[in-house]
Structures are given as C-alpha cells and as structure tokens.
Amino acid sequence: MRFDSIHNYYETLVVRELIHSFVEDIRSIDEDYLQDIACIALNMLPSRYVRHDVDMAFFSYH
C-alpha cells in the first residue's frame, strides 16, 4: 500500500511563494532558514490533506 499521493495542499503554495519572494537571493539564503520560514507559515495555515489538488474544491471555508 502506498500513500505518497497524499500531501498538504498548502505546502506547494508556500514553497512557491518563498521561491518567488526570494528568487534573486535564493542561492545565497541558508536552506535551513527557508525551511524554518516554510514551517512557520504552514503552522499558521489549516491542514488540508488531499490526494489531488482539485480535491480542495470540496473543503468548506465557513
């Protein structure tokens, strides 16, 4: 049995935003620092585990 298709929807969005925000300096910034920022951001967001990103359509935002 494999579970590698399950992921937190927000992980990809947070990582993309970090890369976009630091695109000019990404190679000079410590990787541990960026990972810490990602963890802080993800801990502030609700957990939304999905198998496919389209599954987010079924989450209620009320």
For the segment 2-11, what is each residue's pLDDT rounded down to a tens digit?
898 899 999 9
* pTM, rounded to two decimals: 0.74
For the segment 24-60, what is each residue's pLDDT rounded down to a tens digit?
777 788 889 889 999 999 999 999 988 888 877 776 6
- What's the rounded Cα separation, in Å, for the pair 44 and 30? 22
Residues contacting residue 51 through CB under 8 Å, at least 6 positions apart: 5, 6
pLDDT score of 58:
72
The answer to whether the CB of 15 falls within 8 A of the CB of 59 is no
